[in-house]
Amino acid sequence: MLADSFTRLVDDYKQNPNLIYQSWFLHNEDRLKAFRSIRRGVLQVISDIKDGSFPNDFKGSSLEFVLTCITEQKQVFEGASHPFYWKPKLRIPDIYENQDHKRYFGQFLECCLKATKPETIVNEIHKLDAHKIKGLGPAVASILYFLHPTWVPPFNTAIINGYNRLFNERRKLGSWSEYLAIREKMLTVNNEYRSVLSNDLGALAGLLFEVGAGNLLVPGLADQPAVDREKLQKQIEKRHKGVVDEQQEEHTHSEMQYHLLTIGRALGYDVAAARNDMSRHYNGHSFSFLSLPALPPLPVSAETSQTISLIDIVWLEKGTGRIICAFEVEKSTSIYSGILRLTDLICSLPDHATALYLVVPDSRRKEVEIQLTRPSIKQTNTPIRYMLMSELRTHCDALCKFGDSHRVLEKIARSV
């Protein structure tokens, strides 16, 4: 298509608050956390395959956690886990029962995770494709995107439909060779229009997704499918509701963080909000005015320090920098990813004797109890308690007024 038409299309895509660019790519803080959680999850998949503990089913596996984190990343990835479900009648994808295929898959993930140049990723894709593992195709690209977002675009039906419509091609879904051809074209287009897109290929993939889903019409394209106005209106309303719901979740998330910052300060602790939440505010109170500007230096690796800095709220003993309490506030995102950040903290700083808490909506009480009893969590012997948002909200003032240490939280915290 013509350059002017493409630029207008990108402008329409970026300016619409209901489309993916604004609702997920640009203004979704959970997106950044997802990259670290998914990377950690992929490391666990590799470890499980190496030590022989990876199961013969998708359910309950470390791979399920990775795909759960991915599917939570809104519309672009909502079907990303389906290709990995174990289909016993078809024996696909053949990475659960076939030990050689399982090993090939683990080696592929490890090589891609450690890759320092995009050519390595392409070579590993060719190697994996040569093994002809039944049922394992370019759906894996959704995992690779979260390992190398500037090298690998995600891939699904809506994205390929948008690609074919926009570039007048007839690429197909299930082939690695087709995927690599699409990737080359996307890299070329992304490089040409980098000033209006992003180095991160998620921006362009989101554009193709919206075109393929029929939410974004291409200027000057004559053979676009006829628009079902009623269906389109329902799609717009559904997307708008999703955006509004997400905004409400963000507001509630900020409210809970504010209560925790307030209680911690009242109890005499230094408090720190997550590094990427410092610009948040609640009820006229900016977190940057309540929180330390950053966590003090910790005796951990740089990568672990980055993970700890993304924990929603941390309380520290004044003058020592010892972490007293750590809190993860959960909304509709994976409770397990929050648990992983807390276990990373306690495993890295065992001498800090940190109290760990999840803050969850009342409706997710059963879910958090299930997650805290997972074998992989119980094996770490990490005591994580949880509190309900309604109770934190109700008792915030009383905890500030009558508490004399972090132990006052035991009045509302629950154990499994």
pLDDT tens across the length of the chain (416 residues) = 567 789 999 999 999 988 889 888 887 767 877 888 899 889 999 999 999 999 999 988 989 989 988 988 777 898 899 999 999 999 999 999 999 999 999 999 999 999 999 999 999 999 999 999 999 999 999 999 999 999 999 999 999 999 999 998 999 988 999 999 999 999 999 999 989 999 999 999 999 999 998 888 887 654 544 445 566 566 666 656 666 767 788 889 999 999 999 999 999 999 999 988 888 899 889 999 999 999 998 888 888 888 888 899 999 999 888 999 999 998 766 677 788 888 888 888 888 878 999 999 999 898 888 888 876 666 666 789 999 999 999 999 999 999 999 999 999 999 88
β pairing state of 355-360 and 323-329:
parallel
Q: Which residue's structure tokens are 């809104």?
A: 74
What does the alpha-carbon distance between residue 405 and residue 399 come to, in Å, rounded to a whole number? 10
pLDDT confidence of residue 5:
85
pLDDT confidence of residue 332:
64
pLDDT confidence of residue 224:
47
Structure tokens at 172: 């197909």
Q: Decide: 42 and 265 in contact? Cβ < 8 Å.
A: no
What does the alpha-carbon distance between residue 203 and residue 208 come to, in Å, rounded to a whole number? 9
pLDDT confidence of residue 243:
62
What does the alpha-carbon distance between residue 186 and residue 124 come to, in Å, rounded to a whole number? 19
What does the alpha-carbon distance between residue 144 and residue 138 come to, in Å, rounded to a whole number? 10
pLDDT confidence of residue 1:
57
Class of residue 340 by CB neighbours under 10 A (exposed 0-12, middle 13-18, buried 19+): buried
Per-residue DSSP letter, 414: B
What does the alpha-carbon distance between residue 262 and residue 259 come to, in Å, rounded to a whole number? 5
β pairing state of 313-316 and 270-273:
antiparallel
What does the alpha-carbon distance between residue 74 and residue 410 come to, in Å, rounded to a whole number? 35
Closest CA to 253 of 30, 73, 96: 30
Per-residue DSSP letter, 282: E
Structure tokens at 297: 């230096």
**CATH number of the domain at 246-411, please?**
3.40.91
Neighbours of 195 (CB within 10 A): 7
pLDDT confidence of residue 327:
96
What does the alpha-carbon distance between residue 69 and residue 91 come to, in Å, rounded to a whole number? 25
pLDDT confidence of residue 408:
95
Enumerate the CATH 3.40.91 domain ranges in the chain, comma separated.
246-411
Peptide bond connecting 299 to the previous residue in cis, omega within 30 degrees of 0:
no
Does the pTM surpass 0.85? The reply is: no
Structure tokens at 389: 């948002």
Beta bridge partners of 359: 329, 387
Class of residue 114 by CB neighbours under 10 A (exposed 0-12, middle 13-18, buried 19+): exposed
